[in-house]
Amino acid sequence: EYFFTQLKLALFGAIFFAFPVIASQIYMFVAPGLYKQERGAFYPYLIATPVLFIAGGSLVYYVIMPLAFTFFLGMQQAGGDGQAAIELLPRVSEYLGLIMLLIFAFGLCFQLPVVLTLLARVGLVNAPQLRKGRKYAVVAVFAVAAVMTPPDIISQVGLALPTMILYEISIIAVMMIEKKRAAARDDDDASNMDTPDDGGETHPPAP
């Protein structure tokens, strides 16, 4: 068990530290085919993606896991008086697997603003749609949290509540993108109106 636990830990650490390098290499491969403004639009996502993943993992390690294990330890009982003794005997591999699963689940769910803003940039979603679908998002978030977390209310609420906060932040970010796009469209229309049109007029030759 100790050997395979070390392998799991090494694999998880390698993926975690290699992800920024892999993402940068993918961007360097795609960047030559993008326009300058398109490359500039990708920079915030390259920064936000690892930051949000680390934020989700930190929430698991420093908040969710201590609360969850306090909950599990509270289920122990000494036994006697006709009661069975219940003692928590966690294995190292199970403990590590649970932490890795939660870090992955929280880190993945914390990418919600990145996904929604990217979809908004390509025109697949907009702020009114997200506001209208808020009630469905609540149900979906709690369903995903129930599947991806242990069967205790602390882990489920700990994943669902930050995800809903990120959903609201995503709506604000999408609104900002739409306002910026509308302002750019208005500027283009104004510049087109200011551009003189000869309309096929002929000018007399210069003397």
Amino acid making up residue 71: F
Residue 136 located in a structural domain: yes
Per-residue pLDDT, averaged over 34-62, amounts to 82
pLDDT score at 196? 54
Would you say residue 46 has pLDDT above 70?
yes
Residue 142 located in a structural domain: yes
* Domain boundaries, position 149: 2-74+91-188
Cβ atoms 170, 109 nearer than 8 A? no
Q: Tens digit of pLDDT for each residue in 90-148?
A: 777 778 888 888 888 888 889 999 889 888 887 888 889 999 999 999 999 999 888 88
Cβ atoms 83, 77 nearer than 8 A? yes
With a threshold of 0.85, does the pTM exceed it? Answer: no
For residue 119, give every residue at least 6 positions away whose Cβ sits within 8 Å of its Cβ, in sequence order, or none.
125
How many domains, in total, are found in the chain? Answer: 1
Per-residue pLDDT, averaged over 49-67, amounts to 87
Residue 197 located in a structural domain: no
- Positive or negative CA dihedral for 153, 156, 160, 161? positive
For residue 36, give every residue at least 6 positions away whose Cβ sits within 8 Å of its Cβ, in sequence order, or none.
none
- If phi > 0 it is left, if psi is from -120 to 50 it is alpha, else beta; for residue 200 that is left
H-type helices in the chain, by residue range?
A: 2-30, 36-59, 65-73, 92-109, 112-121, 127-132, 134-148, 153-194
